[in-house]
Structure 1
Amino acid sequence: MPSIGLWNDAQRDLEQLTLAVFVIRKEGEGLQELPEDIGIVIEGVQVLHGLTSVASACALLLGLIYALNLSNPKPLHFTFEVLQKIIMHLEQQKMSPKVQNLYGRLQN
């Protein structure tokens, strides 16, 4: 668990988010250092924390979206579609034209 002051600051910021994977690092630490916490926020509520990696957090977030039957936030619609259909290979036959175009470019 992060230090109290760091966590309180981060908690206020996380409460403003609709859907997010968060990584909390000590101030001044680089990307080589292990983060203080990795977790998931849904509608301002921290639903998971203490995760081992951002990759596992993203996979768990997709699982939570499916399990809780949540819709993707409009500003992140294509981001989640790429994660689901290209990265995770879920329902690839239902790609939107934009994601199909990206997928084609990635194949070349």
Structure 2
Amino acid sequence: MAQLDMHSSLLIKVIRAKGGATRQKTSDIMDTLDQTVDINLRRECVLKALTIFMGEDVNDLIKEYLDSGTDDTQRELEQLTVAVFVIRKEGEGLQEPPEDIGIVIDGTEVLHELTSVASACAMLLGLIYALNLAYPKPLRFTFEVLQKILMQLDQHKMSPKVYNLYSKLQTSQ
């Protein structure tokens, strides 16, 4: 997470410079980022905006549910391949701490009661790496950024899309 914190200001700068659909999709996230001082929420916003910037759907990475007391959430979690889930109480916004944050792999909840979405994403990356799993195709660029830019692992083999972000970060310094 220190690497995420270290790159956050440059990532935000690059993401804010992007126009079009990306700017529209990230505007609410950036508004939340601007209004909060909570480091965990700021990290979550950066990860969500990064996912959108990479042209991927943030809902493929972070599944958010309301704690409605039904089995619908559990059934949905069982259908997921790889995701971070966040369960919030009904009526509470992002400023309130979630009821639960966890990780699902192949429909099985492998971790829960995590402290933040950012730590859940870091643990998910570690689990994927340790279990030698392939990155989920809908999120391959986001995970590649986490691995190659933030974690600085295997940097010499970047996809053109990730290398483009890497170059922008280097020139923004």
Structure-2 separation of matches of 1:106 and 1:12: 40
Residue aligning to 2:102: 39
Residue aligning to 2:152: 89
Task: Check if 1:64 corresponds to 2:127.
Answer: yes
User: C-alpha displacement at 1:14, in angstroms?
Assistant: 1.0
Give the aligned residue type for 1:37. Answer: D
TM-score normalised by the chain length of structure 2: 0.57
User: C-alpha displacement at 1:100, in angstroms?
Assistant: 0.5
CA contact (8 A) 2:80 2:106 kept: yes
Task: Check if 1:21 corresponds to 2:53.
Answer: no
Cα deviation 1:42-90 (Å, max 9, x = unaligned): 0111100010111111111111011111001111111110111112222
Paired-residue identity, %: 77
Structure-1 separation of matches of 2:169 and 2:68: 44
* SS of match in other structure, 2:97: coil
CA contact (8 A) 2:68 2:90 kept: no
Structure-1 separation of matches of 2:74 and 2:124: 18
Which runs of no fewer than 5 residues in structure 2 stay unpaired? 1-66
Which runs of no fewer than 5 residues in structure 1 stay unpaired? none
TM-score normalised by the chain length of structure 1: 0.88
Structure with a larger share of its residues in helix: 2
For the aligned residue pairs, the C-alpha RMSD in angstroms reads: 1.8
Cα deviation 1:79-108 (Å, max 9, x = unaligned): 110111112222222211211111111222
User: Stretches of 4+ moved more than 2 A in 1?
Assistant: none
Higher relative contact order (CA 8 A, sep 6+): 2
Structure-2 separation of matches of 1:54 and 1:40: 10
Structure-1 separation of matches of 2:83 and 2:165: 23
